[in-house]
A = this chain, B = another copy of it.
């Protein structure tokens, strides 16, 4: 699978907590190959571990390299993220724009996603190693994303573009017209029986009711529930009539009805 060939490369990250958050974001998005280029020193493991949560394996399996060149040496494409302008950075595209190209390459070779340090991003020397320049869309008034948030957005876009996510299946299909009409007949009778509307106003009122139920999808299960409501209402109206001769209260409806 293409996602197996995606490597996240962090250049000299400052905060171990961020490294842990990166591990979690990666695993959430089905990516597990983490490299740290030019590490600043030993990682603060408890701090990283706390943020990694259940992605400890990504943290433990990370590789460290003295330089970015070594961390990406075996990668066909090298995508560098930047928030800055200038020096050819205007050629940058968004993660969504690059995703198909990166995933296609990842079918046959390693592909690196490179992220600079928290304070300064990627240096010009680092950018020179990149074949793709990536710009994450963000508010010009505050465009600097937290490191792990930037990793999340990029990995999320690749995960979605990979098409491996299976959305939950709508278990009940859209109800057929005949079933809906049966429901509306039942509602018409029950609304008359409880004194909600009189016969001569029923056609108009039922148009309003139909409009409400047509605003969104209406499944077989939905119609079954609303049929049940009408049936029970009818039963209740019958019980009421047996016990009292008092007419039902007059309903106050909004003017436009």
Instruction: Tell me whether A168 is interfacial, beta carbon within 8 Å.
Output: yes
Query: Quick check: B138 and A28 within 8 Å, CB to CB?
Result: yes
Shortest Cβ distance from residue A58 to the other chain B in the assembled complex, whole angstroms: 10
Interface string of A75-108 (1 = CB under 8 A from B): 0000000000100011111101000000000000
Query: Quick check: A96 and B54 within 8 Å, CB to CB?
Result: no
Question: Which B residues touch A28, using CB under 8 A?
Answer: 138-139, 142-145, 149
Instruction: Tell me whether A12 is interfacial, beta carbon within 8 Å.
Output: no
Interface string of A125-153 (1 = CB under 8 A from B): 00000000001011101111110110011
Copies of the polypeptide in the assembly: 2
A93 to B159, CA, bound (A): 16
Question: Which B residues touch A29, using CB under 8 A?
Answer: 138-139
Which residues on A are within 8 Å of B, measured CB to CB?
A: 21, 24-25, 27-30, 51, 53-55, 85, 89-94, 96, 135, 137-139, 141-146, 148-149, 152-153, 156, 159-160, 165, 167-171
Question: Which B residues touch A137, using CB under 8 A?
Answer: 156, 159-160, 165, 167
Contacts A149-B148, A153-B152, A153-B153 hold; do A159 and B138 have CB atoms under 8 A apart? yes
Given contacts A51-B146, A145-B152, 19 further A-B contacts (CB under 8 A): A21-B149, A24-B142, A25-B146, A27-B139, A28-B143, A28-B144, A28-B149, A30-B139, A53-B144, A53-B146, A55-B142, A90-B169, A90-B170, A91-B168, A92-B168, A137-B159, A148-B149, A152-B152, A153-B153
Would you mind naming 19 contact pairs between A and B with Cβ atoms under 8 Å apart?
A: A24-B145, A24-B149, A25-B149, A27-B139, A27-B142, A28-B139, A28-B142, A29-B139, A54-B142, A90-B168, A90-B169, A90-B171, A92-B168, A94-B167, A137-B159, A137-B160, A139-B159, A149-B149, A156-B156
Query: Quick check: A135 and B168 within 8 Å, CB to CB?
Result: yes
Query: Quick check: B153 and A165 within 8 Å, CB to CB?
Result: no
Question: Which B residues touch A135, using CB under 8 A?
Answer: 167-168
Question: Which B residues touch A144, using CB under 8 A?
Answer: 28, 53-54
Within 8 Å by CB of A89, from B91, B159, B168, lies B168
Question: Which B residues touch A169, using CB under 8 A?
Answer: 90
Question: Which B residues touch A94, using CB under 8 A?
Answer: 160, 165, 167
Shortest Cβ distance from residue A169 to the other chain B in the assembled complex, whole angstroms: 7
Closest to A137 in B: B165
Query: Quick check: A138 and B165 within 8 Å, CB to CB?
Result: yes
